Amino acid sequence: MGIETWIVIALVAIAVIYVIYVYNKLTSYQTQYENGFAQIETQLKRRHDLIPNLVNTAKGYMDHEASVLKEVTEARAAAEKAVDAAHDRPGNAETMDLLSQAESALTSGLGRLNATFEAYPDLKADANMRQLSEELATTENRVAYARQAFNDLVQKYNEYRRSFPPVMIGKLVGHGEDAQLLEFEDSEAIQKAPEVSF
């Protein structure tokens, strides 16, 4: 074998090693943002678990506000379904949009529920209600933090995937599309800490 053959073999080996490197890096970034979504999922499930307790506590005081309680309960069910769908495909545009819409509807319903609490001083004074509201506010902050971490990881993945030459290699090895950020319709409201007044 001549020197030209060895040079061609070396160049092919370098190219294969580089493709493997790019694939592994893309896969690593994808795993990171999937883990980031798992953190969001944990906090959203905690939020969803707190809501029935909040609703049940409020039921005793708010008999004629059944429509608000029903709205929150239905929004919670839709949000849980959206989390389950997103669990299987974090970063997928369709599932992230569905999750965003469901969580926004839930946040809106909780806002209306909190507004109705103002008309019930005994409910606001209830120790269980105060504790649940405080836990919910803390969980909202955790959701916001986890969502920001997830979006940072998605951005890191997308930036690398779009750079050259990974943009060409990514398409060949199953990383042809950007991951979707998780943005809620009411992002500005979510960025603020929830207000719980008693």
Summarised one tens digit per residue, pLDDT across range 127-160 is: 888 888 899 999 999 999 999 999 999 999 999 9
pTM: 0.78
Distance between CA atoms of residues 95 and 156, nearest Å: 20
Kindly give, in sequence order, each residue whose CB lies less than 8 Å from that of residue 58, ignoring residues fewer than 6 positions away: 65, 69, 113, 117, 120, 123, 129
Percentage of the chain modeled with pLDDT above 70: 92
Q: Whole-number mean pLDDT of the chain?
A: 88
Summarised one tens digit per residue, pLDDT across range 27-83 is: 999 999 999 999 999 999 999 999 998 888 888 777 667 888 889 999 999 999 999
Q: Quick check: 173 and 86 in contact, CB under 8 A?
A: no
Distance between CA atoms of residues 165 and 37, nearest Å: 27
* Full DSSP string of 56-69: HHHHTT-GGGHHHH
Report CA Rg, the chain. Answer: 23
What is the per-residue pLDDT for 198? 45
pLDDT above 80 for 189: no
